[in-house]
């Protein structure tokens, strides 16, 4: 780069940084209306995206169309974060997909504009991208929307202790899985309700939903479940919970049922939890495996939680 171009490039970066700061200042003034409204949630939704945007502005040294597109996407995602509120969870999960599509499209566009034989081969990917982009329109989906996550544990306690633990409200702790801890999904806090008979209910309370609006109070989130099938034996049993109402995960998936099965083994009692759900996001080839993985981790978390409760009763 010629020496005379350096000051101009530097001024452009400072100007872009100033625009980013001004955009976030306007966003804060619009959505908060007073500085005292900032809390940890505000720092997460506003501070982190702003930091990312500034890092891109000051550090990126893009020399290609793909690099420029990736840098622009990063700034765009950082600016969009505060506007999405709770939807930032989806933004975090979808970020690899967004970056991948941006890089692929920028690369294909570069080849097409360059001309030659490579441009003709690159054009073959355009129809494929178009078809993939249409998934979800008019209810179309490449993969089934229904899914099940499953997890199990072997508890060093008799089957009757596991049944007693399932019949009582558990004490929820932090999940061990890194994915569940890294992504800010709603987490169970407490539950009310007991029993394992058909018709018995549970009301599980989750971490509240928080927003940046001036004077807004945290919105409670919960899931109500009712037992629709129950079979209790001396050496095990099976209980099926139907989801009656869900205000915790409705933005990400349609939760249907949860099933707990336990049976005595030589090493103790095997407890298996399974969660039935319906995917509500497309493309299926991306969000399908992610939701299946996350639901499986949630089922493992339930198995570990009630398994620990059973050990406490032994």
- Residues in a beta bridge with 260: 239, 273
Domain boundary among 133, 157, 192: 133
Higher pLDDT, residue 250 or 159: 159
Reply yes or no on whether the pLDDT at 246 is more than 90.
Answer: yes
Q: Quick one: pLDDT at residue 46?
A: 47
What would the pLDDT profile of 213-226 be if each residue is shown by its tens digit?
Answer: 555 577 899 999 99
168 or 59, greater pLDDT? 168
Instruction: Classify each residue of 265-297 as buried b or exposed e, where b means 16 or more C-beta atoms within 10 Å of its C-beta.
Output: eeebbbbbbbbbbebebbbbebbbebbbebbbb
Q: How many other CB atoms are found less than 10 A from the CB of residue 99?
A: 15
Q: Quick one: 151 and 208 in the same domain? A: yes
Quote the pLDDT of residue 177.
Answer: 92
* 188 plus 282 within the same structural domain: yes
- At 44 the pLDDT is 41
Are 170 and 195 part of one and the same domain?
Answer: yes
Residue 66 CA to chain centroid, in angstroms?
27
> Is 166 found in the same domain as 128?
no
Last residue of a domain, one of 102, 133, 164: 133
Mean pLDDT of the chain: 77
pLDDT of amino acid 73: 72
Least confident of 36-45, 71-80, 180-189, 277-286: 36-45
Tell me: do 201 and 275 sit in the same domain. yes
pLDDT digits (tens, 9 = 90+) for 190-219: 999 999 999 999 999 999 876 655 555 778
Are 22 and 62 within one domain? yes
CATH number at residue 255: 3.30.530.20
Residue 69 sits in the same domain as residue 172: no
SS3 143: coil
Q: Running DSSP on this structure, what letter comes out for residue 273?
A: E
Say if residue 244's pLDDT is above 70: yes
Structure tokens belonging to residue 178: 């890194």
Bridge-based pairing of strands 146-155 and 253-265 is: unpaired
- Classify residue 139: in a domain, yes or no: no
Distance CA 83, CA 212 (A): 10
Q: Are residues 158 and 82 both part of a single domain?
A: no
Out of 82, 109, 133, pick the residue that ends a domain. 133
Q: Which domain holds residue 166?
A: 146-313
Residues 102, 162: one domain? no
d(CA 244, CA 227): 10
Q: Could you give the number of structural domains in the chain?
A: 2
List the structure tokens of 27: 């966003």
Residue 141 lies in a domain: no
Interval 105-119: pLDDT, tens: 777 777 776 666 666
Would residue 30 count as lying in a domain?
yes
> What pLDDT is stored for residue 235 in this prediction?
93
Sheet holding 219-233, edge to edge: 146-155, 268-279, 253-265, 236-246, 219-233, 201-209, 188-192
- 138 lies in a domain? no
pLDDT for position 204: 96
**What's the mean pLDDT in 280-308?**
91
- More confident site: 165 or 281: 165
Provide the whole-model pTM.
Answer: 0.74
């Amino acid at each position: 780069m010629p020496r005379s171009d350096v000051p101009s490039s530097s001024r452009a970066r400072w100007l872009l940084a100033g625009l980013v700061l001004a955009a976030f200042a306007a966003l804060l003034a619009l959505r908060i209306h007073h500085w005292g409204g900032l809390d940890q949630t505000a720092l997460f939704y506003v501070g982190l995206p702003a930091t990312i945007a500034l890092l891109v502005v000051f550090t990126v040294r893009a020399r290609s169309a793909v690099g420029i597109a990736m840098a622009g996407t990063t700034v765009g995602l950082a600016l969009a974060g505060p506007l999405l509120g709770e939807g930032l969870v989806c933004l975090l999960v979808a970020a690899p997909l967004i970056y991948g599509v941006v890089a692929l499209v920028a690369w294909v566009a570069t080849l097409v504009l360059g001309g030659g034989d490579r441009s003709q081969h690159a054009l073959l990917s355009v129809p494929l991208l178009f078809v993939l982009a249409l998934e979800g329109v008019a209810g179309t989906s490449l993969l089934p929307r229904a899914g099940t996550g499953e997890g199990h544990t072997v508890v060093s306690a008799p089957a009757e202790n596991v049944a007693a633990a399932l019949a009582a409200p558990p004490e929820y702790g932090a999940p061990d899985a890194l994915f569940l801890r890294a992504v800010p999904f709603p987490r169970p806090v407490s539950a009310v309700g007991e029993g394992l008979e058909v018709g018995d209910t549970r009301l599980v309370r989750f971490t509240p939903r928080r927003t940046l609006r001036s004077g807004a109070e945290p919105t409670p989130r919960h899931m109500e479940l009712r037992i629709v099938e129950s079979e209790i034996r001396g050496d095990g049993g099976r209980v099926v919970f139907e989801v009656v109402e869900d205000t915790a995960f409705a933005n990400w998936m349609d939760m249907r049922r949860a099933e707990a099965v336990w049976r005595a083994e030589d090493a103790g009692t095997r407890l298996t939890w399974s969660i039935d759900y319906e995917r509500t996001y497309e493309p299926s080839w991306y969000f399908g495996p992610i939701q299946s993985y996350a639901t499986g981790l949630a089922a493992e978390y339930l198995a570990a939680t009630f398994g620990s409760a059973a050990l406490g009763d032994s």
